Amino acid sequence: MKGKLRKEEWRNETAKEEFRENDDEKSNLVAICASIADGDVSPSDNCP
């Protein structure tokens, strides 16, 4: 299993990549939505 990420870790890495690749507004939205998925923030209409 070495070198493989769990589903949650893979999702977090994907969000980090999107955060780096997209413009600021989209990047912030990705980060916020990732936090919501982790239960750190209340959901908003902006997240899928």
User: Does 2 reside within a domain?
Assistant: no
User: Does 23 reside within a domain?
Assistant: yes
Residue 19 near residue 27, CB atoms below 8 Å: yes
pTM strictly above 0.85 = no
**pLDDT given for residue 29 in this prediction:** 72
Task: With a cut of 50, list the residues of the chain below it in pLDDT.
Answer: 1
**pLDDT given for residue 35 in this prediction:** 72
**pLDDT given for residue 37 in this prediction:** 66
Cα separations in angstroms, 18 against 1, 9, 26: 25, 14, 9
**pLDDT given for residue 13 in this prediction:** 74
Element (H, E) at 16: helix 7-21
Quickly count: other Cβ atoms within 10 Å of residue 30's Cβ: 20
Angle among Cα 8, 15, 5 to the nearest 5 degrees reads: 35
Residue 22 is part of which domain span? 7-37
User: Does 30 reside within a domain?
Assistant: yes
**pLDDT given for residue 30 in this prediction:** 72
User: Does 44 reside within a domain?
Assistant: no
**pLDDT given for residue 46 in this prediction:** 57
